Structure 1
Amino acid sequence: MKDIVRQKLGINVDIMDMLNEQISKEAHSSAAYLAMASWCDHNGLTGSAEFFYKQSTEEREHMLKIFRFINENGGTAYSPEVNNVLHDFNSLQEIFESALDQEIAITKSINNIVAKCRKVQDFASEHFLQWFVNEQMEEENQIRRILEMFDLMGTDGIALKLIDERVKHGE
């Protein structure tokens, strides 16, 4: 019976499964950004802490957006478990490098789902995912611009404080 129900969904079954995996990835990103925010707070980098608290919230919102899409299209979204969140970092630059790696992995995952949508002709899911494609381009670009500041200004003393202030103001 379960297989028959899955065949009558408004969403392609394979796409639903991939989107459920994406929910887990978004939840992990949210938790990772929360850990990064905590490290920044603990190290007096309040601008960067606020940046990562905001990023954590955005990733959770992305997770919920996918969660609701699955359910609204007759599928079943699954609440994710989050494990293996890194809490120890050596520097603010390392945190932003980790954040960029994380965003690149999310982008690749979204792109893989879009490619599968095209292959199975799940046009509604592909249309839904276009927002995420655009969002990922913006998020990667934002973190790349921050990492460029480390290259231009350095990583010690006043340079670190200036970078933290610029991150806070979104410059």
Structure 2
Amino acid sequence: MATVVKIVPRTSRTQNLFEEQVGNELAVAQQYLAIAVWFDQRDLPRLASYFYRHSVKKRNDAMRIVQYMLDNNIEVEIPGVPAARNTFEDPRELIALALEKERAVTDEVTTLSQTLREDEDYLGEQFMRWFLTEQVEQVAEMTTMLDVMDRSQGNMFDMEDYLKRDPIGDDRNESAAPRTAGGTL
């Protein structure tokens, strides 16, 4: 006789917040994809590559949360995401938007972590620690990118040279990352 795994229906605010965070991460992944394409269409390969990689990282982060939910027999519904912004006046807007998105994700991850602590869900709180560390790095990285953009006064070739000379986003935190549902891309 086959064993049936009981899936826990969504009943707690933390379960709802986990699903919301999956949607938030996927929305940022889509936005980073749009940013990457914008840079790619303007023959800025290093900036395009940087944001293509970050799009995949955000997708993987969403799937880490999905895996946590699966591992804990929590029902998972993948939410839809809003349309990504595709129109920009100047390149600085793209980096500023990316920094804004990373700050928003940091706030969302912090709220989720705080809720887990309030609900005395210590396993969930432990799981979220990696995300908190990751967000500190992501905000710092995007802040640096915006600072370099401002110092270059919009010269995109200076930005390309910066990324060639000082590659950022080297996945230094990936070895401690939680498992990814479906495997890491």
Structure 2 partner of 1:41: 40
Choose which of 162, 167, 172 in structure 2 pairs with 1:170: 167
CA distance in 2, matches of 1:116, 1:139: 22
1:28-107 alignment, distance < 5 Å: 28-107=27-106
- Write the deviation string for residues 32-86 of structure 1: whole angstroms up to 9, x where unpaired: 0000000000111111000000000000000000011011111012122122211
Displacement of 1:165:
2.6
Tell me which moved more, 75-84 or 43-52: 75-84
RMSD of the alignment, in Å? 1.6
Mapped contact 1:68–1:77 kept (Cα < 8 A): no
Query: Given the alignment, which residue of 154, 161, 171 partners 2:157?
Result: 161
Q: Could you tell me how far 1:89 is from its partner in structure 2?
A: 1.2
Equivalent residue runs for 1:131-146 within 5 Å: 131-146=130-145
What residue in structure 1 maps to residue 173 of structure 2? none
2:12 maps to a residue whose letter is V
- What percentage of residue pairs aligned between the two structures are identical? 24
> How many residue pairs were aligned?
160
Structure having the larger proportion of residues in helix: 1
> Which one-letter code corresponds to 1:141 in the other structure?
A
Displacement of 1:6: 4.0
AA aligned opposite 2:149: F
